[in-house]
Amino acid sequence: MFPTIVNFILSQEGGYVCDPNDPGGETNWGICKRDHQDLDIKNLSKDEAIAIYAKNYWDPQWEQLGFGLAACMFDTSVNMGKKTAQYFLQNCNGSYVQFLQLRLARYSELAQNNPNLKKFLNGWNNRVTLLRRFIEVHKDDPDNTSAPVNW
């Protein structure tokens, strides 16, 4: 599952960004300087980012949850942190659709509570929509080896 899901995440995270309003701050491939002070974020390679995802953001035990929830846990851990992902998992009644609804609600709350974050709301919501489509395409593939879809 990891290779399939990490490709989706990389397609969403893209390259280097340093937006002063982004809580993650300086970011490349979704890896933020705030959480990785020792890294040269601007020059972080895609392969280095994948290694960081495998070590710090992926948990192989998530495969037991099924593809949909594993994808939700991984993508949310990257985007919002593992604690937030765990909270959503505990409150989604085993449904990746409900998990994503909880995530959307949290994004709305963040934007409502901090006007500087409102500019990110459409992008966050779009990411959840794309994640749901991604899950729908791949959830029934037993090996998660379907031909890649351009996200």
127 within some domain: yes
d(CA 97, CA 132): 8
Does some domain include residue 143?
Answer: no
Q: Which residues span the domain enclosing 32?
A: 2-138
Determine, yes or no, domain membership for 10: yes
Question: Is-contact 101 91, C-beta < 8 A?
Answer: no
CATH of the domain at 12: 1.20.141
Whether 23 maps to a domain, the answer reads: yes
Residue 56 structure tokens: 């710090």
Which pTM does this prediction carry?
0.89
Cβ-contact 41, 16 below 8 angstroms:
yes
Give pLDDT tens digits along the chain (151 positions).
999 999 999 999 878 988 887 777 899 999 998 888 899 999 999 999 999 999 999 999 999 999 999 999 999 999 999 999 999 999 999 999 999 999 999 999 999 999 999 999 999 999 999 999 999 999 887 565 444 444 3
Report the number of distinct structural domains present in the chain. Answer: 1
- If residue 25 lies in a helix (H) or strand (E), which one and from where to where? none
Residue 118 is classified by DSSP as G
